[in-house]
Amino acid sequence: MDSRQLMVSPATALTFIWGGAVVASGLAIVAAPQPLRLGVPLIAHLTGMLAGYGVTVMLALMSRAPALERGVGADRLARWHATGGRAIVFLMLIHGGTATVAWATRQGMGLWAAFIEVMRMPGLIAATAATLIFVLIGVISARSMRRKVRYETWHALHLLTYLAVALSFAHELAGPDLAGHRLAQVFWSLLYTAGFGLVLRYRVLAPILLAWRHRLRIDHIRTEGKGVASIILRGRHLDELNAQPGQFFRFRFLSRTTWLSSHPFSLSAPPHHQFLRITVKAIGDGTELIHSLQPGTRVIAAGPYGAMTAARRQAHGVLLIAGGIGITPMRALFETLPPTAGRITLLYRASSPEEVLFREELQQIAGHRNARLIFLVGPSSDPANAVTARNLTHMVPDLTARDVYICASPKFSAAVRTALTKAGLPGRQLHQEEFSF
């Protein structure tokens, strides 16, 4: 099997993650004061080791390793990363507090004096700075804050995570859990080396190597609708990417105003050996700037990523559901799902006729493939546009016997998932990935 097609299933990934947590807990228990008692010192040891271990897991989850991206899926990895990140910040804060209390109790001094003394220990100032960085990133990643922060700002601040990890590492090696335990220190060092190695391999080196090999540039930009444009990219040897309809790349456009940020965009047409097409809606400063780029602009593309491909099919029959700009991966799948996919239906929701993208292309594909195309256009207050179990089963009577792929806004996706569940669709037949930050 091509190594680029290897996949790690969610169950396998979780088994390794929890197995590592057990090992880290074991190291903490061995290093804790004996005889072992449930109390502040033990909590300090456990939370410190689990926080340190959790950091390495976060590095691996967001390293963009293809085996994880294809097997677990980008959206699930992002959810695990968000949940794990909150847990790590919580563990770090508990560790800092309980470690100070334990030292104060052991030395018979006040908390403030104990805090001053603890801060003089090796690596503690750097570890405290790391904790503050993690707290900052946790705050800006909270849902209420993400709505107020530009993607570019969020992305730039998130890069401080690597600095925080580096700052905390010295304290972990010199801390009471690992100090004096040579094998444990070697194991911990290898764990961090592996995490940073994955990040270096797939987030830094891979895009550079792909850029050199494929030489992607903007060929031309075509307006598709109000605030929406297709970016046609020309390159070399693009068949070597093994990209599949339904997948996405993270694109970095190398212009003076856009080179700092990368954005995830799905392919809006089947990949060609010389061209890739993505379709971008201007929903912020970064995407608006992309619309104004000139032909010839160099592009770095990392990927392909994503597991929402034809290979995920379980049933004989497919329903594709798209909302707004979510039509991009659905349009590529609509054209390329194999004949073995059975009956194919595309349901496309848009607020107005002007927001319907690729109308002529979709109609041509539907006619050529003898597939069904359903447009739900107009206000959501119209009962005919309501996404309910009753409406879906009326439009697609054999709904529960099909695979369903969804790409839409979080609100519309949630309504569709609720309706599909009420209609009796088995969970294994539902396929979705979200790229919201």
Please report whether residue 205 resides in a domain.
Answer: no
pLDDT at 136: 85
CA distance 106 to 249: 54
Domain annotation covers residue 408: yes
Q: 263 with 317, same domain?
A: no
Confirm whether 209 is domain-assigned.
no
| Tokens 């290093």, located at residue | 31
Number of domains in the chain: 3
Based on the fold, state whether residues 57 and 182 are members of the same structural domain.
yes
How far is Cα 295 from Cα 398, in angstroms, rounded to an integer?
Answer: 46
351 CA to centre of own chain:
28
Q: Is 380 part of any domain?
A: yes
Residues 46 and 123 grouped into a single domain:
yes
Same domain, 178 and 268: no
Q: Does residue 251 fall inside a structural domain?
A: yes
Flag whether 68 is in a domain: yes
Q: Last residue of a domain, which of 275, 305, 335?
A: 305
Q: Token digits for 212?
A: 């050199």
User: Would the pLDDT of 437 be above 50?
Assistant: no
Q: Which domain holds residue 17?
A: 3-199
What is the length of the chain?
437
Q: Is 94 a member of any domain? A: yes
Q: Contact 224/357 with Cβ under 8 angstroms?
A: yes
Check residues 135 and 31 and name the one with the higher pLDDT.
Answer: 135
Task: Name residue 405's beta-bridge partners.
Answer: 320, 431
pLDDT value, residue 363: 92
- Does one domain contain both 28 and 175? yes
CA distance linking residue 220 with residue 295, whole number of Å: 5
Q: Do 287 and 413 have their domain in common? A: no
Domain with residue 411: its CATH number is: 3.40.50.80
pLDDT at residue 146, as a whole number: 65
Question: Is residue 4's pLDDT more than 70?
Answer: no
Last residue of a domain, one of 273, 305, 337: 305
Let me know if residue 335 belongs to a domain: yes
Which spans in 277-436 are helix H? Answer: 285-291, 327-336, 359-369, 389-395, 410-423
Q: Find tokens 């619309």 and name the residue.
A: 291
Please compute the mean of the pLDDT values over residues 211-235 and round it to a whole number.
91
pLDDT score recorded for residue 90: 92
402 secondary structure, DSSP code:
S
What CATH number should be reported for the domain holding residue 279? 2.40.30.10
d(CA 56, CA 421): 36
Peptide bond just before 304 cis, omega within 30 deg: yes
Are residues 45 and 123 both part of a single domain?
yes
Q: Are residues 141 and 69 in the same domain?
A: yes
Cβ atoms of 293 and 220 closer than 8 Å: no
One domain for residues 194 and 100? yes
pLDDT (mean) for 311-331: 88
Distance (Å, whole) CA 251 – CA 100: 45
Full 3-state SS string of 345-367: EEEEEECCHHHCCCHHHHHHHHH
* Token pair belonging to 360: 């002529």
Answer for the pair 287, 276: CB distance below 8 angstroms, yes or no: no
Say if residue 264 is preceded by a cis peptide, omega within 30 of 0. no
In terms of C-beta density within 10 A (0-12 exposed, 13-18 middle, 19 or more buried), how is residue 431 classed? buried
Q: Is the dihedral of CA 152, 157, 162, 165 positive or negative?
A: negative
CB-CB contact of 387 with 303 (8 Å) = no
Domain identity same for 67 and 139:
yes
The residue out of 199, 228, 262 marking a domain boundary is 199
206-228: average pLDDT: 89
Predicted pLDDT at 151? 66
315 pLDDT more than 90:
no
How many other C-beta atoms lie within 10 A of the C-beta of residue 255?
A: 16
pLDDT of residue 2: 43
Q: Are residue 219 and residue 161 in the same domain, yes or no? A: no
How many CB atoms sit inside 10 A of residue 40's CB? 18
| pLDDT confidence of residue 36 | 65
278 and 168 in a single domain? The answer is: no
Q: What is the reported pLDDT for 68? A: 86
**pLDDT computed for residue 346 by the predictor:** 93
Mean pLDDT of 159-183: 78
